[in-house]
């Protein structure tokens, strides 16, 4: 129901799935909070073999003004936290800007946290998504994530538009030690700000995207931006090419400017 807080005692309060598909499923409920609980989906085996079977600790559909605080979600064959439609479909002038995710730890899931179709105006801080097949997925627009870590996953952060997707911002985050993609932007149609982030290992891949702006951070991984016909920008970053062997490939439409390494301006700058 609305206006209810469900609170535990942190790691000392464990809620198990016991075979259920979703432990908490909120539909069309506004103004509620879940905090300080550990959710265990009880999936077995190597987390790299997880698949998306739609299992979640918390699934949210058509809700507004809710708070998820101090939660741990682990061992789910699906998204540990799954959110859809947090904006009134026909009332875009009434954005939901009072929904917050804070201090969420997601590990050993198929996806740690997923902002799915129209899960908009989300404010997320201190997410820790590690040891998932995909740390975090953003399909929606107007998502703000800050001071978070997407580390030691197969793919760290995936941004791929569904309806009204992208046009959000990722600020002050670390994407490190991911096995395949540190950052994958695919079919981003409405631009994305990625500022002040430290991105190491794996690959940054921009594909069929426009307006992705990666700036004022650190890059210590390969960059593949070949398959874009419109402009994306990588600018003002400190680049570390160690260990050797990283590759850097850009489409003619890419703006690569003012990046630098230990010797000065980076040789791949084209503006």
φ, ψ for residue 10 (rounded to 5)? 75, -140
Closest CA to 211 of 144, 176, 159, 150: 159
Tens digits of residue pLDDT in 168-222: 999 999 999 999 999 999 999 999 999 999 999 999 999 999 999 999 999 999 9
Tens digits of residue pLDDT in 241-267: 988 899 999 999 999 999 999 999 999
Tens digits of residue pLDDT in 145-176: 999 999 999 999 999 999 999 999 999 999 99
Burial 54-86 (b: 16+ CB within 10 A, else e): ebbbbbbbbbbbbbbbbbbbbbbbbbbbbbbbb
Average pLDDT of 120-124? 94
pLDDT of residue 98: 79
Question: How sure is the predictor about 90, in pLDDT bands with cuts at 50, 70 and 90?
Answer: low
Four-residue CA torsion sign, 46, 52, 53, 58: positive
Instruction: Concatenate the DSSP letters of all residues of 174-243 into one string.
Output: EEES-SSEEEEEES--S-EEEES-EEEEEEEEEES---EEEESSEEEEEEEE-S-SS--EEES-EE---S
Structure tokens at 1: 């129901």
Tens digits of residue pLDDT in 9-48: 988 899 999 888 999 999 999 999 999 999 999 999 999 9
Per-domain residue ranges of the chain = 19-265
pLDDT(97) > 80: no
Q: Is the entire prediction scored with pTM above 0.85?
A: yes
Enter the DSSP assignment of 10. G
């Amino acid at each position: 129901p609305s206006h209810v807080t469900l609170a535990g005692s942190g790691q000392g309060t464990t809620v198990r799935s016991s075979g259920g598909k979703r432990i908490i499923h909120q539909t069309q409920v506004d103004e509620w909070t879940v905090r300080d609980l550990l959710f265990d989906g009880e999936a077995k085996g190597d987390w790299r073999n997880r698949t998306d079977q739609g299992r979640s600790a918390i699934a949210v559909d058509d809700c507004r003004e809710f708070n998820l605080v101090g939660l741990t979600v682990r061992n789910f064959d699906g998204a540990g936290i799954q959110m859809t439609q947090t904006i009134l479909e026909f009332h875009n002038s009434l954005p939901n800007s009072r929904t917050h995710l804070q201090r969420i730890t997601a590990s050993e899931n198929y996806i740690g946290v997923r902002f799915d179709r129209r899960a908009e105006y989300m404010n997320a801080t201190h997410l820790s998504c590690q040891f998932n097949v995909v740390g975090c997925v953003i399909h929606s627009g107007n998502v703000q994530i800050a001071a978070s870590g997407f580390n030691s996953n197969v793919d760290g952060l995936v941004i791929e538009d569904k309806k009204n997707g992208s046009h959000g911002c990722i600020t002050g985050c670390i994407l490190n030690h991911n096995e395949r993609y540190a950052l994958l932007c695919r079919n981003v149609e409405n631009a994305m700000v990625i500022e002040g982030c430290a991105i190491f290992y794996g690959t940054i891949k921009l594909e069929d995207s426009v307006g992705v702006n990666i700036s004022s951070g650190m890059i210590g991984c390969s960059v593949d931006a070949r398959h874009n016909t419109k402009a994306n920008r990588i600018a003002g970053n400190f680049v570390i090419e160690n260990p050797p062997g990283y590759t850097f490939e850009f489409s003619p439409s890419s703006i690569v400017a003012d990046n630098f390494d230990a010797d000065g301006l980076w040789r791949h700058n084209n503006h």
